[in-house]
Structure 1
Amino acid sequence: MDQFLSIFFFLLASYSVIANDSIQTLGTWMSSNRKTPWYYLASFAALGLILTVSYSWFANNGDISYGRLEKIPYIEVHWYHGIAPVVLILMTRMGIPVSTSFLILATFASSVVLESMLLKSIIGYGVSAVTAYLFWIAISKVLDEKKSIRDNSQTGFIGSLYKTLKRKGIVKKLNYKEFQKSYWSSLQWVSTGFLWWSWLTHDVANISVFLPRQISGLQLILILVFFTSVIFFIFREGGGKIQGIVLTKTNTKYVRSATIIDFVYAAILFFFKEVNSIPMSTTWVFIGLLTGREMAITTLSKHRKIKNLFPIIRNDFGKLVLGMTVSVLVALAVNYIASKY
């Protein structure tokens, strides 16, 4: 019975975690590639997932969590452990960007590990907000995100690159507008791949916590098949309600903005991955990044007022706090129920 519950809750967590958190990494890419068939995008994401999870399995002796669960030993799964993924599914359907790391892992982690997770996540929010603010202030001096990639003025790095390649006969058939579009589209796919890998190295732990820390080759194959099915379902649904948060942010549907967001987010996640193996909330990092970026854009804009930014920040941060509150309540409820058994 315990083994059945472990598998069932793993499947439930797989859908709930990927549906809630994957939009943080793939949302801007999806929104700026709306004209690309969804199954092409889903295939790319599924391939990245398969390679990333498989590498962890090979490199970590059957562990697909990239060592994120070193301080959270495997325990027998009981029915009350399923409360967290069920709550996560409900909150995802309501469009609330809850931290899956807290909601799922809090029911398994000790208070010491939970405190470390909370501290790392809060620091992650602050670091990502400050980094994004400073980065977008700096990049505004060399790149206008609002400027169309169809602009024909051959200036800056891309203009110089085009002239060089044109002179060498490498881009004979492309005019400058076509070259810009191809350049940024290619760069975005690269940045998305980097970000998708960075996110998976963090958040697969939120799913695999229901499983033994070492799994067999057959189990790996079955897991990858299910993961792929979830990815295709999410893409067919257009990302769900969490995608709405991405679309409310300035220019995220444009390829240049989406590419820059992905690169910065991936770099921050990679940094925290290297700091230590303690899990953290990638949701807090993501919202912090978008907050810092919006603040920078507002600071630079002559037509936007700071006071108009606060409702957006308040709304996003309020959802984070709500998600955190629910996570703590669920963890307390599960621990209370567990103490009675």
Structure 2
Amino acid sequence: MEMTTIYTIIGFALAGYSVIANDSIQTLGTFIASKQKWFKWYTLASAASFVMILAITWGWYSNAGDISYGRLTRIPFQEIQWYHAVAPGILLVLTRIGIPVSTTFLVLSAFASTVVLEKMLMKSVVGYGLAAVAAYICWIVVSKFINEKFDEVEDKWIGFWRNSVWVTSAWLWWVWLSHDVANIAVYLPRQIDVNLLLIVLAYFTALLFYIFYINGGTIQKVVLDKTGTRYARSATIINVIYAAVLYYFKELNDLPMSTTWVFVGLLCGRELAISTMNKDYKFKYVFPLIGKDFLKMTIGLTVSVAIVLAIHYIIIPNNWF
């Protein structure tokens, strides 16, 4: 077996695990938090896997064998080298210690040019800001009618909100996959055959079952730290706004972006809105949460930039290994 094939397998396997373990909690975190009390983990995993199989298969069918939904048109396929496999390995380490870094920056930075990386960063920054503003406005309006932390849902509405979590989580999960599958598909040819598609789906399904088995892992704490994310009503509202922002950027252009930045921006705007409307929830409690998440994102971005600079200005010119 050639070394490039070995690097491809290692890179794909690590990227798959890292992306599913790290980024999927953005979309499935509120789903897990609000449903784990009522359903077995394997029931939830089966539902998420079903949507995942449909989303990736549809992307493969509608994009002539490209499961990335066309997100890699500006990043041509490259022969996989050792440094391509290192990037998801770093991501895996950061994931294990609970840092919600951007897999888009950390993985795609090993493949993208500095120009593409700069455009990805700008799109992600705009996404962060738009999500924060949209969330702030929406939750200011929501807070005028309900207190997510203390108001109990009337019995006649309980079934509606619980069912809404299923529907909105499926929509958000689908939209998110159309963005972030590119972070794994970058290790594969831009068009894959049916056999490789089945291998990809089987691997992703196994990863999803594992993530649900451990209830989201360490990174799930980013979701649980925020106000009311265990409640079906709050989870539904978060899902709808997050999915709407992601869908907007999906239709805007084919440039990859960091869904992590959008997610953290959404939670930032939400916490600020709740603290604005709730006298018992002071800003001094909010800013440590917001600052901690932003610091973690900055760490991931710094590592990503270091990787792309090292590849383009140190490793490739010297042709190491």
Shift of 1:305: 1.8
Structure 2 gaps of 5+ residues are none
Deviates more, 1:133-142 or 1:38-47: 133-142
Deviates more, 1:276-285 or 1:326-335: 326-335
Matched, 1:103 2:103: no
- Structure 1 stretches of 4+ with a deviation exceeding 6 A read none
TM-score, normalising length: structure 1: 0.90
> Which among 200, 218, 227 is matched to residue 250 of structure 1?
227
For 2:304 and 2:218, how far apart are their aligned partners in 1?
A: 20
Counterpart AA for 1:9: G
Shift of 1:74: 0.2
Instruction: For 1:1-341, list aligned pairs within 5 A.
Output: 1=2, 2-35=4-37, 36-146=39-149, 147-149=151-153, 151=154, 177=155, 179-335=156-312, 336-341=314-319
Counterpart AA for 1:7: I
Counterpart AA for 2:315: I
Shift of 1:330: 2.2
For 2:6 and 2:296, how far apart are their aligned partners in 1?
A: 33
8 Å CA contact retained: 1:7, 1:211: no
Shift of 1:329: 1.5
**Cα deviation 1:276-329 (Å, max 9, x = unaligned):** 000000000000000000000000011122222111111111111111111112
For 1:291 and 1:133, how far apart are their aligned partners in 2?
A: 8
TM-score, normalising length: structure 2: 0.96
Deviates more, 1:119-128 or 1:321-330: 321-330
Deviates more, 1:85-94 or 1:302-311: 302-311
For 1:237 and 1:81, how far apart are their aligned partners in 2?
A: 28
Shift of 1:144: 3.5
For 1:326 and 1:67, how far apart are their aligned partners in 2?
A: 26
Counterpart AA for 1:234: I
8 Å CA contact retained: 2:8, 2:85: no
For 1:70 and 1:281, how far apart are their aligned partners in 2?
A: 17
Shift of 1:49: 0.7
**Cα deviation 1:160-201 (Å, max 9, x = unaligned):** xxxxxxxxxxxxxxxxx2x42211111110000010011000
Deviates more, 1:299-308 or 1:44-53: 299-308
The number of residues matched between the two structures is 314
Aligned-partner SS, 1:239: coil
Aligned to 1:174: none
For 2:247 and 2:140, how far apart are their aligned partners in 1?
A: 22
Q: Percent of aligned positions with the same letter in both sequences?
A: 53
8 Å CA contact retained: 1:81, 1:334: no
8 Å CA contact retained: 1:83, 1:330: no
Counterpart AA for 2:220: Q
8 Å CA contact retained: 2:83, 2:110: no
For 2:6 and 2:287, how far apart are their aligned partners in 1?
A: 47
Aligned to 1:154: none
Counterpart AA for 1:339: P
Counterpart AA for 2:278: S
For 1:73 and 1:298, how far apart are their aligned partners in 2?
A: 45
Shift of 1:246: 0.4
Shift of 1:138: 1.1
Larger gyration radius, structure 1 or structure 2: 1
For 1:21 and 1:62, how far apart are their aligned partners in 2?
A: 24
For 1:88 and 1:330, how far apart are their aligned partners in 2?
A: 12
Aligned-partner SS, 2:191: coil
Shift of 1:266: 0.5
Shift of 1:8: 2.5
RMSD (Å) for aligned C-alpha atoms: 1.1
Aligned-partner SS, 1:242: helix
